Amino acid sequence: MPADNRGLTITTESTRAAVLLSETIDAFAARQANTGGLLQSALEEDPNGCFANAVLGWMLHGARTTALTEQALSALNAAKITAPKATRREQQYVEALEYALHGQLIMAAKVLEAVVDEHPTDLAAIVFLQSELFWLGEMVWSERVSAKFIDHWNESIPGFPALLAIRAFDLEENNRFDQAENTAKRALALNPADVWSAHALAHVMLMQNRIDEGIEWMASKAPLWADANQMQYHLAWHECLFLIERRQHEQILSIYDERIRNRQHHLCAAMPDLYIDLQNASSLLWRLSQAGVDVGNRWQPLVDVIHPRMDDMSNPFTSAHFALILAANESYSDCESLIQSMESFSQNADHDLAGRYKRAAIPAAKAALAHHRQEHAHVIECLTPALNDLWEMGGSHAQQDIFFQLLAHSTAQIGDRKNHERLLHTIEKQGFVDAAARSVYQH
């Protein structure tokens, strides 16, 4: 039976399909833009392959949009037809996918963890699992998983740099910055173009307030990421987080237009509403507006893109950003409708995201709206009780920071210096070094 590049069996009668599927996994782990094309070719070779269809379902689920739910369910059904003849590992991918597509995200993660426990070199399961845990905010859990599999890997196993990158990001999100940096640099020594380890390192530099070093490093490495998937946009967003600290606003606006929200660029043209891109774009425009920059008519195109997705509750952090977009565009009644949709979804006890919406995304969305209306006391009322739960929206410390910035600004606006200082202390507990020195908190 054919196997992937790490020797794990792929059940298919087509050797060519297995080779293409293995290349798909490698490209996916390396965050390369050609991943979807490779998977498509693998499916053309063996349209009924259980593993190929399960991987397709997982990738569609990973796009975190209800627009792709039907396609993901079709992939799941196709995988189930040939599952009885597949290996136990492949069947577990299908089982986990079924949980995920029915809102049982914790169970899905547990099944993937069981796969990784038994097959610690299963790179696809590792990447799917980290992504799932990341968007659940469960980075403590994610680190616990990577601590188990890391020792099963070495340089002779294909995909090692991508694996190191995963470990580095887990370490970084758990504030183990030195280990994260060493791990990311080890990956980059093996593959200087590795996107996810560059990303982990960018996070470390931001958390440690290494602004000038971050600007120089990101600018010098950006050409290496041209073949990456939309992570290249997210890395450009990270570059802008450093530039904001140096108030390089004109430069940020050109990076926004060219490398973060360029509708002519092939990735953005193919999927203009990808959730992470909308998060990048809106949180950067918000930060610029907050710094007093006129961002022109850049909000409206984001509003146009999110309009068909007002009832899409596939990612709490994205929904909170939709609120930022609608509030910034002064589309207040749409923003209120969005919050209502979020509230009715949060009553749905059968979905693992329901409670996360309730405890984190809804307070954040309400605060975004109140902040734009300059109702600063209301911002404090919404966010303060939710402060310890915001991690449940998913996303990194660097991304979640926008809601801390919003609260810090409102606290300063009403002149509550004591609470402002207490908040800076909370922000430092998130892992940010010397919060008071950062321009985004100086009001």
Is the sign of the CA dihedral 131, 63, 111, 345 positive or negative?
Answer: positive
Cα–Cα distance for residue pair 149/207, rounded to 1 Å? 26
Angle at which helices 123-135 and 88-101 pack, to 10 degrees?
20
Least distance in angstroms from the C-beta of 150 to Fe ion: 21
DSSP letters along 188-204, please? HHH-TT-HHHHHHHHHH
Question: Other CB atoms closer than 10 Å to residue 296's CB: what's the count?
Answer: 10
Half-sphere exposure of 158 (CA within 13 A, CB side): 12
Least distance in angstroms from the C-beta of 397 to Fe ion: 9
Least distance in angstroms from the C-beta of 350 to Fe ion: 31
| N residues, the chain | 443
Task: Please name the amino acid found at residue 79.
Answer: A
Least distance in angstroms from the C-beta of 238 to Fe ion: 6
Between 82 and 396, whose beta carbon lies closer to Fe ion?
396
Interacting residues with Fe ion between 369 and 398 (CB under 5 A): 396
Between 65 and 396, whose beta carbon lies closer to Fe ion?
396
Instruction: Let me know: does 1 contact 11? Beta carbons within 8 Å.
Output: yes
Least distance in angstroms from the C-beta of 31 to Fe ion: 12
The two three-digit tokens of residue 19, written as one number: 């080779």
Whole-angstrom CA distances from 352 to 6, 183, 308, 313, 387 are 33, 32, 23, 11, 20
Between 159 and 395, whose beta carbon lies closer to Fe ion?
395
The two three-digit tokens of residue 79, written as one number: 């995988």
H or E element, residue 45: helix 35-45
Least distance in angstroms from the C-beta of 191 to Fe ion: 19
Least distance in angstroms from the C-beta of 240 to Fe ion: 12
38 to 77: interface string for Fe ion, x by CB under 5 A:
----------------------------------------
Return the SS3 of 272.
Answer: coil
Least distance in angstroms from the C-beta of 231 to Fe ion: 9
DSSP, res 265: S
Least distance in angstroms from the C-beta of 203 to Fe ion: 6
CA angle (309, 310, 315) in 5-degree steps: 75
Angle at which helices 376-383 and 397-413 pack, to 10 degrees?
140
Task: Please name the amino acid found at residue 51.
Answer: F
Between 315 and 331, whose beta carbon lies closer to Fe ion?
315
Whole-angstrom CA distances from 314 to 2, 103, 225, 348, 401 are 35, 9, 28, 13, 21
Counting Cβ atoms within 10 Å, is residue 30 exposed (0-12), middle (13-18) or buried (19+)? buried
Cα–Cα distance for residue pair 319/254, rounded to 1 Å? 26
Least distance in angstroms from the C-beta of 342 to Fe ion: 24
**Number of residues located near Fe ion, criterion CB under 5 A:** 1
Cα–Cα distance for residue pair 332/370, rounded to 1 Å? 10
Least distance in angstroms from the C-beta of 136 to Fe ion: 16
Between 235 and 380, whose beta carbon lies closer to Fe ion?
235
Between 206 and 379, whose beta carbon lies closer to Fe ion?
206
Least distance in angstroms from the C-beta of 413 to Fe ion: 28
The two three-digit tokens of residue 227, written as one number: 């073949």
Instruction: Let me know: does 53 contact 76? Beta carbons within 8 Å.
Output: yes
Between 241 and 380, whose beta carbon lies closer to Fe ion?
241
Between 196 and 441, whose beta carbon lies closer to Fe ion?
196
Between 338 and 390, whose beta carbon lies closer to Fe ion?
390
Between 205 and 380, whose beta carbon lies closer to Fe ion?
205
Between 92 and 396, whose beta carbon lies closer to Fe ion?
396
Between 346 and 396, whose beta carbon lies closer to Fe ion?
396
Interacting residues with Fe ion between 393 and 412 (CB under 5 A): 396
Residue with the CB atom nearest Fe ion in the bound state: 396
Closest to 326 (Cα-Cα) out of 347, 342, 345: 342
Site for Fe ion, rule CB under 5 A: 396
